[in-house]
Amino acid sequence: MVLILGLPLAAAVGAGKLPRDPLPEDLGPASIDVSGYPADQQKAYRDVFLPLFGQLGETARAVNSPVIELDPALLAVERSKNPALFDDPMVARVSSDGWKRRVHGILNKPRCCGSCPVLSAKQAKVLWRFLVYDSIARKTGGRAGAWIEHRRRLLDDFKRLYPERFETLKAETAGEEKEGVR
Amino acid sequence: MKHSVIAAMTAAMGVAALAPMGAHAENAETAKLTFAPDVPPPVARKSPAVVRVGLNPQEVVGVLAPGVSDDTRYPFWTFNGRVPGPFIRVREGDTLELTIANSASSAMAHNVDLHAVTGPGGGAALTLVKPGETKTARFKMLKAGLFVYHCAAPPVTDHIANGMYGMILVEPPEGLPKADKEFYVLQSEFYTNEDMETEGLLSYSPKKALAEDPTFVVFNGRVGSLTEDGALQAKVGDRVRIFFGNIGPNKASSFHIIGTIFDRVYREGGFGAEPGRNVQTTLVPAGGAAVVEMTMQVPGDYSLVDHSIFRMQKGAAGTLHVSGPDAPDIYKQVK
């Protein structure tokens, strides 16, 4: 039943086959409209973001991620302007190092034969800057409301399709929050 | 003429000129030291000499891993400002004259335990220097092999865990067979209170060290020292020799280079026995070493790893880049 419902939705967003351990992010779009971004961020999206996450099969996961990274000053401003962004970590995970830690995680993945594209230290800096810029552009300020709505829609769909997995993720997220992991 | 040769000749002449009348003028030279991954040239002399080496303990903050917004840095304890410390190359029968100078600004005492030395503490007892002290000692190099050295001042655990180590090669009397490329690679662990993804200045965790739970396992003192711009370089047809050490301080290393079979392995760094042939992975204990040799036959990138493979994610990964013509008779895609 789950698979029957899941496949058309996955196909509809162009994600094809869902990963073995799906996340709500997998149900969303797999591209970003970067036409309004500065030229260097458009280049970062084209040259680093898409090839890397495409290779990993996780483009939608990155595009629809709840992670938002803000420096401490901006974080305080955002907290006062958009308190709803801080209500539910399943919707938005705001921190001062969320993307940094995830990019480190990718950077530390082992490289073996050299035939697969790997993230160089230089590309890691470019990717991190793009992810921070993009999450501020699409998820904060005047766009925060639309982002919250988008995430809630993904979570509702996911809960309907994968109720057990949803509960597992919810418990994991709550546990990470308790440990201070954002 | 190379600077190292000039330096060696100058040193030798100086000593001869100062030798007292009637005394036997000793053949002496100043060692050419190199930092990883470079290795000093083979010893060209045919007779033993006194080889002078200076090791200077220094505490320096350096990069432990490249970061994305800031590098991950660590307060290293070093010999001569780098981790690992310099590579020393002498020949069996030489006398190592070691001078250790601990600066007055140093926070602690240091010394050197060379595994190549025969005598109490591997020389540690003769070289213990408090801040501001300098000592010199002589050690006869009795046995050929590749050895590690490290600080053994109390607590020895912390001095090793924070970066005070290096390697010394004692060539056999006849030298080693010619190699086209020689590299110095030393594996070690770092134990930090912070996790691996933390940027900025990290701190040493004696608790994690005691639990033998390293945060980082690295080649040549930092994550990425042998990748990208730091990759080792060779050509098809080159006979490559790697002087590989493992200082630990806790873990043994299962040293392997993906896509190669070692032609020769001088196990545990000893030149006294026949080398192992056609070896895939060699076990190098903490405080041990091995010399591996291979002739590169197919171009491409070869990964240096500790085949306790999850350590790659802690930083134990390097690249040997081999350039040259394809070798389809050995390696090709069919379909």
pLDDT bracket for residue B8 (50, 70, 90): very low
pLDDT at A157: 97
pLDDT bracket for residue A10 (50, 70, 90): very low
Alpha helices in chain A (DSSP H): 2-12, 39-44, 50-56, 59-63, 72-81, 98-107, 121-139, 144-161, 163-179
**Touching B: A residues 88-107, CB under 8 Å:** 97, 100-101, 103-105, 107
Task: Judge whether residue B188 has pLDDT over 80.
Answer: yes
Per-residue model confidence as pLDDT tens digits over A44-79: 999 999 999 998 888 999 999 999 999 999 999 999
pLDDT bracket for residue A14 (50, 70, 90): very low
**In the β-sheet with B113-114, what is the strand arrangement from edge to edge?**
B87-91, B165-171, B145-150, B113-114
Per-residue model confidence as pLDDT tens digits over A126-163: 999 999 999 999 999 999 999 999 999 999 999 999 99
Closest CA to A44 of A114, A137, A147, A112: A137
Tell me what ipTM this predicted complex has.
0.77
Q: Which residues of B touch A105 (CB under 8 A)?
A: 197
Task: Judge whether residue B206 has pLDDT over 80.
Answer: yes
Q: Count Cβ atoms within 10 A of the Cβ of residue B215 and give its class: 0-12 exposed, 13-18 middle, 19 or more buried.
A: buried
Handedness of CA B247, B248, B250, B255 (dihedral sign): negative
pLDDT at B16: 39
Residue A111 touches partner B, C-beta closer than 8 Å: yes
pLDDT at A179: 75
Contact across the interface for B228 and A125, Cβ inside 8 Å = no
Q: Region B3-22: what's the mean pLDDT?
A: 40
Indicate the pTM of the whole model.
Answer: 0.87
Tokens of B284: 């190098």
Tokens of B253: 């290393």
Average pLDDT, chain A: 87
Q: Region B205-228: what's the mean pLDDT?
A: 97
E strand or H helix at B293, and its extent?
A: strand B288-295
Which residues touch B216 (CB under 8 Å, ≥6 apart)?
A: B64, B65, B189, B190, B192, B196, B223, B314, B315
Closest CA to B279 of B305, B257, B311: B257
Task: Judge whether residue B19 has pLDDT over 70.
Answer: no
| Interatomic CA distance for residues B209 and B78, integer angstroms | 18
Q: What is the DSSP letter of B82?
A: B
pLDDT bracket for residue A108 (50, 70, 90): confident
Report yes or no: B35 and B55 within 8 Å, Cβ to Cβ: no
Report yes or no: B178 and B272 within 8 Å, Cβ to Cβ: no
CA distance B240 to chain A (A): 19
pLDDT at B272: 87
Residue B62 touches partner A, C-beta closer than 8 Å: no
pLDDT at A117: 64
Residue B67 touches partner A, C-beta closer than 8 Å: yes
Closest CA to B318 of B258, B234, B231: B231
pLDDT bracket for residue A116 (50, 70, 90): low
Q: Which of B305, B309, B313 lies closest to A108 in CB terms?
A: B313
CB pairs A-B closer than 8 Å: 56
pLDDT at A30: 96
Which residues touch B39 (CB under 8 Å, ≥6 apart)?
A: B87, B89, B169, B182, B183, B184, B243
Which residues touch B83 (CB under 8 Å, ≥6 apart)?
A: B62, B76, B163, B165, B188, B220, B221, B222
Task: Judge whether residue B52 has pLDDT over 50.
Answer: yes
pLDDT at B91: 97
pLDDT at B332: 95
Contact across the interface for A112 and B300, Cβ inside 8 Å = no
Question: What three-state secondary structure class fits B152?
Answer: coil
Q: Region A112-134: what's the mean pLDDT?
A: 86
pLDDT at B330: 98
Tokens of B255: 């040293």
pLDDT at A9: 39
Per-residue model confidence as pLDDT tens digits over B142-156: 999 999 999 999 999
Contact across the interface for A108 and B301, Cβ inside 8 Å = no
For each of the domains in chain B, give its residue range(s) and CATH number, in order of start.
Answer: 3-171 (2.60.40.420), 181-323 (2.60.40.420)
Best mutation target among B63, B64, B68, B322 (most A Cβ atoms within 10 Å) is B68
Contact across the interface for B309 and A110, Cβ inside 8 Å = yes
Average pLDDT, chain B: 93
Q: Which residues of A touch B233 (CB under 8 A)?
A: none
pLDDT bracket for residue A115 (50, 70, 90): low
Best mutation target among A67, A95, A112 (most B Cβ atoms within 10 Å) is A112
Q: Region B216-240: what's the mean pLDDT?
A: 97
Closest CA to B193 of B183, B185, B203, B201: B203
- Residue that the structure tokens 């308790």 belong to: A178
